[in-house]
Structures are given as structure tokens and as C-alpha cells.
Amino acid sequence: MPEVSRKHDVFQAIADPTRRKLLRLLVNEEMPVNSITEHFPMSRTAVSKHLHVLSDAGLVKERKVGRETHYSLQPEPLQEVKQWVSYYERFWENKLSVLKNYIETEDKDSGESN
């Protein structure tokens, strides 16, 4: 399946704390924009702008229900973030393992000198 052309980068979209909170809010259910707005100390217009960025990044899907727009989470683009983070996770696991071995060696050497 071809990837949809995105206007916003996924990393750029999730960089904003408000947009991350919007994604968490939509994890379990589709919600109308009015209900979403109740969770934020900002105008409906501001919330809609954040949702638009998330939509452009492919992270949320819009659906018209009568006169309302409902939003739902589309987590697939987050795979890109997961892959990026996992690369660095391996780096840190290796560094932490080396540190652990160093500390254990130091502890053992300190214990022998007492």
C-alpha cells in the first residue's frame, strides 16, 4: 500500500505537548471536536489547528457526522518514531551495560582491598 503524502512530519507533529495530549485522548475512542476542546484551556479554533497538523501528519482521521467533525487516532505513522527511538535504545542499552560492568568491577575491586 503506498504511503500517503504528508504535509507535516510525524516528529514535527508530536513535538508539541498539546498534540501529544490530543493523541492520548483519542487512543480509546473517536471524539467530536467539541468534546475534545473541553479537555484543553484553549479555543476550539486552536484545538482544531492542532488536530489539523495531526491530520496532515496522518496521525488522526477526520470523519464528518452531520455538522460535526469527529477525530480518531491513526497510530501507524508512529512506527517511524518507534523505529527511530529503537535505534538509540540499542545504543543506550549497550552503554548502560558497559557502565554496569564497570561499576560491578569497581565494587569487586573495592571489596578486595578492605
Residue 62 CB neighbours (<10 A): 13
Do residues 92 and 68 share a domain? no
CATH of residue 29's domain is: 1.10.10.10
In tens digits, what is the pLDDT along the chain, a chain of 114 residues?
345 556 789 999 999 999 999 999 999 999 999 999 999 999 999 999 999 999 999 999 999 999 999 999 999 999 999 998 888 887 788 888 888 888 988 877 776 555
Which stretches of 1-114 are DSSP H helices?
10-14, 17-25, 33-37, 44-56, 78-113
| Domain region containing 41 | 10-73
Do residues 14 and 44 share a domain? yes
What's the confidence (pLDDT) of residue 78? Answer: 95
Q: Give the global pTM.
A: 0.75
Contacts for 13 with CB less than 8 Å, ≥ 6 apart: 19, 53, 54, 56, 57, 59
Closest CA to 51 of 79, 68, 75, 72: 72
Do residues 21 and 64 share a domain? yes
Domain assignment present for residue 107? The answer is: yes
